[in-house]
Chains A and B, each alone.
Chain A
Amino acid sequence: MEFKQAVGGRRTIRYFKSWQPVEAAKIQTILEAGRLQSQHGNAKLIRKAVVIERGKTNDTVRDALIDAMYNQPHVQQAPVFIVWAIDMSGWDSLRDALTELIEVRALNSTHGWSKEFIETAVIPNADFNVMAGDHIFAEWLSAFECGLAVGSALLAAIDEGLGTALVTGRRAQIREVLHMPPFVTPTQVQLVGYPAESPNAGGQRPSPPFENLYFSGKWGVPLKPDPAVTAQLKTAGMLQEQAPARWRADEIRALAQLFGLPE
């Protein structure tokens, strides 16, 4: 699948073929996409995940997680959960991660980097070594960095022909069920499976106009999209027909009957 198609085709899928398992190779591919995403200081040990699979993971654990996610129908249906988590102890690896980046010539003296620079200017600096300063900022940045990984993982799932969704839940309950240590915080749970609804789920969801989000030169001056580029993005599949498709209500009724859900 082309990247633009994956971006345009991403939906939050809310109806899964619970009976169809997800291939291990696809799960691994999704996780790799998360692992390889950018990370502040390359301290990649801060973002981790627990994979739960219907039929492989103990039913008691899976059922407890479903409960923690409020027993929502798509959670009951999804054959795979990827429970993304922030491990704050991962910041302990920052010095080593930065040193490694120098050794592999990612960070170079062209930009002022040296091992001495790491020790004397970076590690003591709370703007970079977030654990040296206000931990609220450290947690905020950790959530941001974890989100980057999750974003890639979502697109990787689409690229693998799967449906996916992010769900929140009772974090304390999730932590307890999965035996996470106190310095680990579960974030969003990524549901993965083959969609029972149409892969385009009735159309692309509403987004604010481009020019309401992006500014030129300074805050508040709209950056206007080029209509020719917009047309190209439609052709490439990134911008798609908006929801709801005219058949969507009928699809929802059929899915409600299949899964025994209220319409």
Chain B
Amino acid sequence: MTEQEFTACVAVQKYLAELAGKGLTEAEQWERLVTLKEFCEFVNRTPDEMIAEIFNVETQKYKKRSFYTERVKEFSGQISGNWSVRTARGNVIRGFFIANGRRLPNEKPDWL
């Protein structure tokens, strides 16, 4: 998928609109898009496919939430660094899903 095709995805457009609304700089938005693209390659799906797959709009129930929850955890664990750094990577993906109306469980710090 080209960069243009990626950015043109409906789900990515929704995500970008949320990021802009939060006051993130262009550089910060770009960094998150890069992380999201890496995750898409990791699960071998486009952003729109991920959004369509995770939730059954007709039944209003989650279909693949466990799958994406586990994949995000694995994705976070790919980098070195402390818990905060690794969780922040996974939270980019969680933020993408949230921008598209879907929620993955957050990771809790050990002390919570």
What 1/0 mask marks residues of chain A from 1 to 38 whose CB sits below 8 Å from any chain B CB?
Answer: 00000000000000000110000000000000000000
Residues of A within 8 A of B88 (CB): 257, 260
CB-based nearest B residue for A66: B108
Residues of B within 8 A of A257 (CB): 84, 88
Of A256, A261, A263, chain B has the most CB atoms within 10 Å of the CB of A263
Within the complex, the shortest CB–CB distance from B76 to chain A, in Å, comes to 10
Q: Is A260 a contact partner of B22 (Cβ separation < 8 A)?
A: no
Residues of A within 8 A of B84 (CB): 257, 260
Q: Is B107 a contact partner of A260 (Cβ separation < 8 A)?
A: yes
A249 with B111, Cβ < 8 A, contacts A260-B83, A260-B84, A260-B106 known: no
CB-based nearest A residue for B105: A71
Q: Is B112 a contact partner of A262 (Cβ separation < 8 A)?
A: no
Residues of B within 8 A of A261 (CB): 91, 106
Measured CA separation A71–B94 after assembly (Å): 14
Q: Is A262 a contact partner of B95 (Cβ separation < 8 A)?
A: yes
Contact of B87 among A18, A77, A260 (CB under 8 A): A260
A19 with B111, Cβ < 8 A, contacts A249-B23, A263-B22 known: yes
Q: Is B91 a contact partner of A262 (Cβ separation < 8 A)?
A: yes
Q: Does B40 contact A (CB under 8 A)?
A: no
Q: Is A260 a contact partner of B105 (Cβ separation < 8 A)?
A: no
What 1/0 mask marks residues of chain B from 75 to 95 whose CB sits below 8 Å from any chain A CB?
Answer: 000000001100110011011
Q: Does B98 contact A (CB under 8 A)?
A: yes
Q: Is B22 a contact partner of A249 (Cβ separation < 8 A)?
A: yes
Within the complex, the shortest CB–CB distance from A64 to chain B, in Å, comes to 15
Residues of B within 8 A of A249 (CB): 22-23
Measured CA separation A262–B92 after assembly (Å): 7
Measured CA separation A216–B83 after assembly (Å): 58
Measured CA separation A212–B85 after assembly (Å): 48
CB-based nearest B residue for A18: B112
CB-based nearest B residue for A253: B22
Q: Is B112 a contact partner of A76 (Cβ separation < 8 A)?
A: yes
A142-161, CB < 8 A from B: none
Contact of B91 among A19, A71, A77, A263 (CB under 8 A): A263
Contact of A260 among B23, B92, B95, B109 (CB under 8 A): B109
Residues of A within 8 A of B95 (CB): 262-263
Q: Does A73 contact B (CB under 8 A)?
A: yes
B46-71, CB < 8 A from A: none
Residues of B within 8 A of A260 (CB): 83-84, 87-88, 91, 106-109
Residues of A within 8 A of B98 (CB): 262
Measured CA separation A105–B83 after assembly (Å): 64
What 1/0 mask marks residues of chain B from 6 to 26 whose CB sits below 8 Å from any chain A CB?
Answer: 000000000000000011000
Within the complex, the shortest CB–CB distance from B3 to chain A, in Å, comes to 23
Contact of A259 among B22, B94, B112 (CB under 8 A): B112
Residues of A within 8 A of B (CB): 18-19, 71, 73, 76-77, 249, 256-257, 259-263
13 contacts between A and B (CB under 8 A): A18-B111, A71-B105, A71-B106, A76-B112, A256-B91, A257-B84, A259-B106, A259-B112, A260-B91, A260-B109, A261-B106, A262-B92, A262-B106
* Extra 12 A-B pairs, beta carbons < 8 Å, given A260-B84, A262-B106, A263-B22: A71-B106, A76-B112, A77-B112, A257-B88, A260-B83, A260-B87, A260-B108, A261-B91, A262-B91, A262-B95, A262-B98, A263-B95
Q: Enumerate the 7 nearest inter-chain pairs by beta-carbon distance, A residue then B residue, closest first.
A: A262-B91, A262-B94, A262-B95, A260-B87, A260-B109, A71-B105, A249-B23
